[in-house]
């Protein structure tokens, strides 16, 4: 019985050992799953972190580009504000001149009034002298000689009276002429003042027109998916390597395709009913770096600008209708600037890649307006 009892106690021990082995295997499996989950979570966290950092870097680049564009726009607006202040200063100067002329006219009016009073006093004296003569003729009982002498004196007084009347008539005529001259001057001054005020209003309006056109160009390029920068003057700058090979003036295919997308947007924005009346000219400019002589670069830049214009006017270019090409032909020009407008980096060194470029810009009719203003100011000064 003892042997049987001992054998019966060993069997539960074997079952208990199997149970703990199964439990340990299960815990090991759970631990492995926990490690795998932890690894997957960590790997996902690392990937998300890298994506976020990449996205933040791209946004920083975009923000820097936008800050540069805003800075350029602010610089251009400050330049136009300075031009407007200069014109306002000129207008104020002319207003001072007009005020001085008005004061001069007032002084002349005062002098004319004084002359009129003097003439009236002379006439009164003549009337008084005439009365005295008549009184003397009535009272005198004179001999023939005395009568003749009195008659001679009377004739002398009569002649003097006639001379006074002639002088009075001449003064009246002079006064009338002076009044007419004053009236003409006042009319001219009022007309010139109105012209100055009208020109000032138009110049202030043109500053707003350029800002509006620049905003419309930027919006149009964004809508069409074109990454084109429009500076504060409304000019767009294109890398010459897209258009031409080194030292060549033949348009490359990439340049033709870019012009086919870009130029119709630029032209139609400028020629919209809202903007067309203010635009005087569209200018295509070629620029080079400082490598080579000025004369060679001038010829090369001119040929490149002309190649762009020729392509846009050719039958091959189908981005514009025949009517639009006819209108563009009357206002587009090609200018070669050689190396006269180089671009420098932050350290003041020439950026040759940026200097080799093609620019498309527009000119408003403010130049003609400023010339007209100068002529008006010169006439006022005379």
Confidence of residue 379 (pLDDT cuts 50, 70, 90): low
pTM (whole model) above 0.85: no
β 236-239/332-336 pair status: unpaired
Interval 154-169 mean pLDDT? 79
State yes or no: pLDDT of 337 exceeds 60: yes
| pLDDT at residue 369 in the model | 58
Continuous segment of H or E residues that includes residue 343: none
Q: Are 92 and 155 in contact (CB under 8 A)?
A: no
Q: Report how far residue 304's alpha carbon sits from residue 291's, in angstroms, rounded to the nearest whole number.
A: 16
Residue with the larger pLDDT of the pair 303 and 200: 303
- In this prediction, residue 202 carries a pLDDT of 59
When comparing pLDDT for 20 and 210, which is higher? 210
Cα(195)–Cα(377) distance, integer angstroms = 10
Mean pLDDT of all residues belonging to the chain: 83
Contacts of 190 (CB under 8 A, 6+ apart): none
pLDDT of residue 11: 53
Angle between helices 253-270 and 294-313 (to 10 degrees): 70
What DSSP letter does each residue of 95-133 carry, written as one string?
A: HHHHHHHHHHHHHHHHHHHHHHHHHHHHHHHHHHHHHHH
Determine how many CB atoms are found less than 10 A away from the CB of residue 363: 15
Looking at the predicted structure, is the pLDDT value of residue 9 above 90?
no
- Could you tell me what percent of the chain has a pLDDT over 70? 84
> Beta strands 279-287 and 236-239: pairing type?
unpaired
């Amino acid at each position: 019985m003892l042997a049987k009892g001992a054998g019966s106690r060993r069997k539960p021990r074997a079952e208990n050992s199997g149970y703990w082995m199964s439990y340990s295997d299960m815990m090991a499996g759970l631990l492995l799953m926990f490690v795998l989950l932890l690894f997957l979570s960590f790997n996902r966290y690392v990937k998300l972190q890298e994506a976020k950092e990449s996205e933040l870097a791209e946004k920083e680049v975009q923000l820097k580009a936008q800050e540069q564009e805003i800075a350029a726009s602010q610089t251009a607006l400050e330049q136009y504000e300075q031009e407007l202040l200069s014109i306002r200063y000129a207008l104020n100067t002319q207003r001072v001149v007009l005020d001085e002329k008005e004061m001069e006219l007032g002084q002349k009016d005062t002098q004319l009034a004084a002359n009129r009073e003097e003439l009236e006093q002379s006439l009164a004296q003549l009337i008084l002298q005439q009365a005295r003569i008549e009184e003397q003729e009535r009272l005198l009982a004179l001999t023939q000689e005395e009568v003749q002498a009195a008659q001679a004196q009377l004739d002398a007084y009569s002649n003097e009276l006639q001379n006074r009347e002639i002088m009075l008539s001449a003064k009246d005529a002079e006064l009338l002429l002076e009044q007419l001259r004053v009236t003409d001057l006042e009319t001219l001054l009022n007309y010139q003042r109105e012209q100055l005020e009208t020109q000032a209003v138009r110049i202030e309006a043109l500053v707003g027109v350029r800002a509006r056109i620049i905003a419309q160009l930027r919006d149009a390029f964004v809508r069409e998916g074109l990454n084109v920068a429009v500076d504060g003057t409304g000019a767009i700058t294109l890398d010459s390597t897209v258009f031409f090979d080194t030292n060549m003036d033949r348009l490359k295919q990439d340049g033709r395709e870019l012009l086919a997308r870009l130029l119709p947007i630029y032209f139609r924005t400028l020629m919209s009913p809202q903007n067309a009346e203010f635009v005087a000219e569209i200018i295509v400019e070629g620029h080079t770096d400082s490598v080579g002589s000025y004369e060679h670069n001038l010829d090369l830049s001119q040929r490149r600008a002309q190649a762009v214009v020729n392509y846009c006017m050719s039958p091959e270019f189908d981005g514009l209708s025949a009517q639009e090409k006819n209108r563009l032909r009357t206002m587009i020009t090609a200018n070669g600037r050689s190396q006269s407008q180089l671009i420098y980096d932050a350290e003041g060194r020439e950026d040759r890649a940026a200097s080799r470029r093609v620019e498309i810009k527009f000119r408003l009719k403010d130049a003609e307006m400023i010339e007209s203003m100068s002529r008006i100011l010169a006439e006022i000064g005379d």
